[in-house]
Structure 1
Amino acid sequence: MKYFFVTLFIGFSIFTHAQTSLKGTITDKNKNKINDVTVLIPDLHKEVKSDQSGNYQFNNLPSGNFTIIFSHPEFDAVTSTITLNSSEVVHDVILSEEHSHHIDEVIVSTVFNKIQSQNVMKVENKKIKELQQSGAATLAEGLSKIPGVSNISTGTSIGKPVIRGLSGNRVLVYSQGVRLENQQFGEEHGLGLNDSGVESVEVIKGPASLLYGSDALGGVLYFNPEKFAKSNSYSSDFSQKFFSNTLGSNTSFGLKSSSENWKFLLRGGYNLHSDYKIPDGNRVTNTRFEETDFKAGIGYSNNSFSTIFRYNLNNLNLGLPEEIGDNTIKKDPDYPRQGVLNHIASLDNTMFFKNSKLDFDLGFIANDRNEYEDSQIPILKMDLQTFNYDVKYYFPKFKKIETIIGVQGMSQTNKNYGEEILIPNAKTNDLGFLITSNYEFGKNVLQAGLRFDNRSIETETHGEIGEEGYFEAINKKFQSFNASLGYKTSLIDKVTLRANLASGFRAPNLAELTSNGVHEGSNRYEIGNSNLKNEQNIQVDLNIEYGNSHFEFFVNGFYNHINNYIFISPTSDYIDDNLVFNYTQANSALYGGEAGIHLHPHPLDWLHFTSSFESVTGKIENGDNLPLIPANKLNNTLRLEVNSFEWLKKMYFSLNLETYLKQNKISSFETATNDYSLLNFGLGGNINLSKIKFELVVSGNNILNKEYVSHLSRLKNDGIPNIGRNIMVGINFNL
């Protein structure tokens, strides 16, 4: 396989194309020239700005069809599809005054990379900057602000994303275009990503096995890294945030430089927090954490080839909370604690031909996870190394039909070096093949695809039969065919309907197949089941949305039926005073959805009101409730925006009320959660004082200092409340 790809690369690289340029003039409806318009070609990672005469120009471009985005703070964004097939293409654009405050983003997580208005699937796209403005201390906490996304938390440092009631290995996470593998089966194994140097996140809420294979049964979180600097430019920035509750800080510093063909960037981040304080004034012992993050990237492109290499190192040192004990403001975690070192390397290659292209992506992840009980010698030491590849060929467009074929694979090894072993040494290999087509006719889009996957898992024997920590060797193969069918249409002017029917699957993970011991975080003896089958689901999604310059609304509904859903269930047996839990399977269903409005009436363009409601119900076929289903949530936000002061630009003020309803639809080993409401605020803007220019952000979460317990908090069983009032102050400098 390796030699095949090398030969393929060399063979395709001999193709060259005549150089193509794209230029044009940008004006408003009165034919006034507009300068400082950002013009972006996402597929080529190229970006320029219009000059004082409203002119823009790209040189040395490949042939083909490309999406171009024109954006400016004072105008509505315009997205165009351009065909480059001659030496010079001229494309003029007229921008209208901004009313919608909405940019039609290009969706990267779906294979055809359409803008959202053309996409068959409804994908949530959220700028990380917006999540940071909410005052979230970690990336996982910020994700819970997105409708349909929740967070299983252990204090403030450990967070696991939940999409429509599914989490862990049922939610696939991509960073830098690479599938993230970090022992996500564990309840206390967090996301392991830092928001520094991340541009946005895309959320696919539903089975995406057609696109990504196993583990995308519940959905996908796709993190887009920050863009390189504009061609022939240099930039640097510095940001600092302070958090009142945890006496914490978050620092980020970045450098970027780009020529016409080469691009470079460096980014460093540092996070440091004390134990969080609850409303009664006590601190939750050992919720403190320290995080160091480093990112680097280098890219090269010409008229026939583009390649980007990115690297991310994340070093996380965090405490494992057990009680409300000593009230200290120390920041060095006590025992027990975790030390997690994560490396992500990615190589993204695109070769452009006359009317088609080839994407060839490689990724490598090294996850070194250590847990310490009472000394600097780790009692648990797990080394997980994952290599993956993703090859897609985009056929020439035939009339209005676009077709892609692809092959994806993963090779993974897990090794143990500590005294305690949660899962055995193992090798996992994936191989998948897919084909999908997109057909546009009039105001309609039809998309369909088919995929086959094969996963093999091989483990080693360890320990003594009948003793805790004994693992019998297994050699398992899991296979699955999956398909999807999606349809998008405009029912009437500005009303869009999307309907999707898709299947997905998940092969059982190593913990579910092989567990034999006490799970310290849950105080239960877990026994795996080597006879588990694939989880196989089929989900129906409906989305209706309407939008004009004054008002928008959306309604999303879904029904997700899962055969052989894997869950852990208590027995009546005890081993060493720990209740025994077995992994078992049963058919299950989840259903619910999200609905929301956005009101921004003209001429009061400075006024915004948004409201959303989300609900999920999870049932096993015998009538029992599924565990870890988030409570129903109502979210209301009032936001004011002002841009009329010379020394203060893009000023905003927001007031937010999050209401969580009572959750009493619980599994046999959960406890119910009462309803509660949290009041939050935010304000900020760009400040220009002589030669000093910076962005100021202030936010307050739980400003009424409400004592509450989230249903998805892992500290709930110990009666430990969530974090109290927390004020964040941040400054961002473009140097």
Structure 2
Amino acid sequence: MKHKSIKNLTILLFTTLSFMLNAQITISGKVNFKNKGVKDISVTLKDTYDGATTDEKGNYSFQTTEKGNQTLVFSNPKFEEVEKSISIGDEPLTANADLKEQISEIAAVTISAGAIEASDKKRATALLTPIDIYTTAGADGQISSALNYLPGVQKVGESEGLFVRGGTGAETKIFMDGSLINNYFSNSVPGIAGRDRFNTSLFRGNIFSSGGYSAIYGQALSGVLILESVDLPSTTSYDFGISPLFASGSYQKLSDRKTYSFGTSLSYFNLDLIQKIFKYNTNFTKPAQGFGGDANFRIKTKSGGMLKYYMNFDKNQMAVKSLSLEPEYDQTKVDLNAANMYHNFSFRQKLGSYLLNVGTSYSLNDSKLHFSTFKNELETPQTDFNNKGNYFNLKTVMERKINRISAVRGGFEFNNAHETNNFGKNYTDLISSGFAETDMGFSNNLSAKVGLRVEHSSYLNKTNFAPRLALAYRLAKDWTSSLAYGIFYQNPESKYLNSEAPLTFQKAEHYIFQVQKTSEGRSFRLEAFYKDYQKLTKTIGDQYVQTAINNDGNGIAKGAEIFWRDKKTFKNIDYWISYSLLDTKRDFMNYPVSLTPSFAAKHTLSIVAKKFVTDWKTGFNLSYTYASGRPYYDIVSQNGTNILRQEGTVKDYSGLNFSLNYLPNLGKKDSKAFTVFVLSVSNILGNKNIYGYQFSNDGLRSSAVLPPVNTFVFVGAFISFGVDKTNDAINNNL
């Protein structure tokens, strides 16, 4: 009886299995994209486990026992998901599908010609974050100095500003949260560069464009630096810094619900002690000294918007004495007494399908220079230059997304400048601008940006139209290419507007081609450019005071740049290498003929390397810069004509810098303070670099323009209460 039951059960199982096998239906077909079969497409019956994956030719086949009306799903992350309704009967079924590319912000190629971005939005492409700036040896924690280690930027030590691809320092403009900063650098005396007035930690990221930039920005012939301030701090904190040069303190309060914050800081610096320790090339009869502070508040709205206000002020002074090049004097001296103030207000808010950005800024510059001469130690006052400037900027941008990678934006901008001096100058100019721009994502592999900017200057009483165009195409998985073209205008510098000469906008046309490869831990970019300058300002006068006479100047700049950054090859070592080739000539300012500008080096090479040793709680940083010799000229005005009396080339520039950061609290979980000790040595080999030459009125005597000190050593301590930066340190980011 028992054997009979087993026999019956076996028959039942085989009968059921035979029925199921006979009931299975085969579903097959082909999946195409642009009329070509696509592999690795998942094909499944919705809400079942039945399905298959396409082969190399796009074919698939599977069997199912399902019946009736069903839904066939075709999916792959690179393509839009397709659902196809089918009816399964007793016969084999064929179902083909045509796919569309999945468009996404992450996968889409972005336009990067001329731009280097470092921000929270695009960490994968970040090339120069705020932490990078602090840990770049020789940058002294300054954004502008750190940018000197990127391709396209010239190393010009005797003057502040970003000298980009053959352009002057005034041809690159700096913006904070979209608003123009008219006084980014501190005031200084001739031959000594001013420093950044803004704390690097204020900004969460930056976009540096060495050409071909967006139509949202204008009045810059060469490039723009776009700084993006922090929204809300991560926590409440107290920070203190102390060194032989300065002392600083700050407080930042974050609300318990993290909906608003406010803070303030104060700082004081004095180079007196350092000058007594090191041998300076510059004779500071009054050491560079000053004090300043800032304040801010930030409010996050209930609907996710952000309102931010920031202000800073500073006062600085110094006096420099040097040997006179004129035989009737023994020495000359210049005294500086300056004050600056900056206010920035910005508001960002989503309004339905639109994003509104409103920003406004106000700058006040007050600079007093007093020149005097000495004969037999008797001082004789010569000239006072008292300059005061008020600047107001307002910009509004409205943006709307069309789809995931396409958008349109437009807006307007007003930039008003009013300057006076003690020689009767009373300059006022209102530049009114309108702009429109669209991002067009045709696919994940092709995108474009088209824009137009229109400007009107009340001083020049003229209007310009500046079109911009850029394209990006993905060549392969990690390789992209970009093209950019644009026309850019800028008013003549106001310091040369000392007459009623009829002038117009200066003009530059940019042509840029870039190839870039980005993979995990590595970045490579090759960029070639050509710039055509027209209507450049021509001046008459000596080396100290020049007056614009017309816009008949012109010039070109062309070259190629290479950038390589690698965090992967060597364990715990982050390094980058940049090289720039620049071929440029200009007939502008008081140049009698077309010449290579005195600030332009043909070859520039920079190497930066960083390593953090966790066991030693120390980060080690090195940087090296080489620049081929720059030209210098002795140009004078005689009878209304500019004459080139002498010319030459200074020796090649070379500088090796070193810094280390020691974190004694690293790994101590109960530590109430995070402390960093910093040691930095600039030009550690003591190379005697020369920036150029100054000449006497008769051209018979000259003196070299030197850095204030050949080798500079900085030692300091920074203490933060409430902020734990351990992870940044371990990840070689501090």
Please state how far the C-alpha of 1:311 moved relative to its aligned partner. Answer: 1.0
Residue 677 of structure 1 aligns to which amino acid in structure 2?
S
Gaps of 5+ in 1: 1-79, 83-102, 108-113, 243-247, 326-333, 458-475, 516-528
Residue 240 of structure 2 aligns to which amino acid in structure 1?
F
Contact 1:631 1:711 (8 Å CA) reproduced: no
**Equivalent position of 1:661 in the other structure:** 628
2:599 is equivalent to residue 614 of structure 1: no
Quick check: 178-187 or 430-439, which moved more?
178-187
Contact 1:541 1:556 (8 Å CA) reproduced: yes
Residue 653 of structure 1 aligns to which amino acid in structure 2?
F
**Equivalent position of 1:238 in the other structure:** 240
2:501 is equivalent to residue 530 of structure 1: yes
2:110 is equivalent to residue 106 of structure 1: no
Contact 2:160 2:169 (8 Å CA) reproduced: no
Contact 2:165 2:210 (8 Å CA) reproduced: yes
Residue 706 of structure 2 aligns to which amino acid in structure 1?
P
Report which of the two structures shows the higher radius of gyration computed on alpha carbons: 2
Q: Structure 1: how far apart are the matches of 2:695 and 2:338?
A: 20
Contact 1:615 1:632 (8 Å CA) reproduced: yes
CA spacing shift, 1:262–1:278, aligned 2, 3 Å = closer
2:695 is equivalent to residue 710 of structure 1: no
CA spacing shift, 1:555–1:565, aligned 2, 3 Å = same
**Equivalent position of 1:672 in the other structure:** 649
2:122 is equivalent to residue 115 of structure 1: yes
Residue 287 of structure 2 aligns to which amino acid in structure 1?
R
**Equivalent position of 1:733 in the other structure:** 719
Partner residue of 1:697 out of 672, 678, 687: 678
Contact 2:496 2:546 (8 Å CA) reproduced: no
**Equivalent position of 2:89 in the other structure:** none
TM-score by length of 2: 0.68
Q: Structure 1: how far apart are the matches of 2:658 and 2:137?
A: 8
Partner residue of 2:468 out of 466, 469, 484: 484
SS at match of 2:583: strand
**Equivalent position of 1:456 in the other structure:** 458
**Equivalent position of 1:217 in the other structure:** 221
2:612 is equivalent to residue 641 of structure 1: yes
**Equivalent position of 1:63 in the other structure:** none
Contact 1:559 1:592 (8 Å CA) reproduced: yes
Residues 594-633 of structure 1, C-alpha deviations (whole Å, 9 max, x = no match): 212233445x421344322123222247653334224521
Please state how far the C-alpha of 1:135 moved relative to its aligned partner. Answer: 4.2
Q: Structure 2: how far apart are the matches of 1:708 and 1:350?
A: 47
Residue 593 of structure 1 aligns to which amino acid in structure 2?
A
**Equivalent position of 1:442 in the other structure:** 444
Contact 2:263 2:296 (8 Å CA) reproduced: yes
**Equivalent position of 1:273 in the other structure:** 271
Please state how far the C-alpha of 1:656 moved relative to its aligned partner. Answer: 2.9
Residue 584 of structure 2 aligns to which amino acid in structure 1?
G
Q: Structure 1: how far apart are the matches of 2:549 and 2:532?
A: 23
**Equivalent position of 1:355 in the other structure:** 353
Q: Structure 1: how far apart are the matches of 2:166 and 2:551?
A: 18
Residue 119 of structure 2 aligns to which amino acid in structure 1?
V
Contact 2:231 2:308 (8 Å CA) reproduced: no
**Equivalent position of 1:314 in the other structure:** 314
Contact 1:153 1:160 (8 Å CA) reproduced: no
**Equivalent position of 1:256 in the other structure:** 253
Q: Structure 2: how far apart are the matches of 1:581 and 1:363?
A: 28
Residue 342 of structure 1 aligns to which amino acid in structure 2?
N
Please state how far the C-alpha of 1:681 moved relative to its aligned partner. Answer: 1.7
Residues 582-602 of structure 1, C-alpha deviations (whole Å, 9 max, x = no match): 665222111123212233445
Within 5 Å, give how 1:500-515 maps onto structure 2.
500-514=484-498
Please state how far the C-alpha of 1:376 moved relative to its aligned partner. Answer: 12
2:407 is equivalent to residue 382 of structure 1: no
Aligned pairs, how many?
563
CA spacing shift, 1:187–1:581, aligned 2, 3 Å = farther
Please state how far the C-alpha of 1:578 moved relative to its aligned partner. Answer: 10
Please state how far the C-alpha of 1:671 moved relative to its aligned partner. Answer: 3.9
Please state how far the C-alpha of 1:492 moved relative to its aligned partner. Answer: 0.9
TM-score by length of 1: 0.68
Q: Structure 2: how far apart are the matches of 1:261 and 1:414?
A: 40
SS at match of 2:438: strand
Residue 563 of structure 1 aligns to which amino acid in structure 2?
Q
**Equivalent position of 1:159 in the other structure:** 160
Q: Structure 2: how far apart are the matches of 1:275 and 1:631?
A: 38
CA spacing shift, 1:324–1:117, aligned 2, 3 Å = farther
SS at match of 1:511: helix
Partner residue of 1:597 out of 545, 564, 575: 564
Within 5 Å, give how 1:194-205 maps onto structure 2.
194-195=198-199, 197-199=201-203, 200-205=205-210
SS at match of 1:130: helix
**Equivalent position of 1:493 in the other structure:** 477
Partner residue of 2:413 out of 408, 412, 432: 408
Supply the RMSD in Å over aligned alpha carbons.
Answer: 3.9
Contact 2:334 2:369 (8 Å CA) reproduced: yes
Contact 2:231 2:306 (8 Å CA) reproduced: no
SS at match of 2:556: strand
Contact 1:552 1:599 (8 Å CA) reproduced: yes
Please state how far the C-alpha of 1:367 moved relative to its aligned partner. Answer: 1.6
**Percent identical across equivalent pairs?**
15
Please state how far the C-alpha of 1:177 moved relative to its aligned partner. Answer: 4.0
Gaps of 5+ in 2: 1-103, 107-115, 326-331, 373-379, 588-592, 636-643, 722-734
Residue 553 of structure 1 aligns to which amino acid in structure 2?
F
Contact 2:136 2:621 (8 Å CA) reproduced: no
Contact 2:349 2:355 (8 Å CA) reproduced: yes
Please state how far the C-alpha of 1:235 moved relative to its aligned partner. Answer: 1.4
Contact 1:290 1:316 (8 Å CA) reproduced: yes
**Equivalent position of 1:66 in the other structure:** none
2:367 is equivalent to residue 369 of structure 1: yes
CA spacing shift, 1:270–1:510, aligned 2, 3 Å = same
Q: Structure 2: how far apart are the matches of 1:613 and 1:693?
A: 37
Contact 1:238 1:734 (8 Å CA) reproduced: yes
CA spacing shift, 1:670–1:534, aligned 2, 3 Å = farther
Quick check: 502-511 or 136-145, which moved more?
136-145
CA spacing shift, 1:81–1:553, aligned 2, 3 Å = closer
Residue 290 of structure 2 aligns to which amino acid in structure 1?
E
Residue 685 of structure 2 aligns to which amino acid in structure 1?
L
SS at match of 1:337: strand
Q: Structure 2: how far apart are the matches of 1:559 and 1:197?
A: 35
SS at match of 2:154: strand
CA spacing shift, 1:385–1:568, aligned 2, 3 Å = same
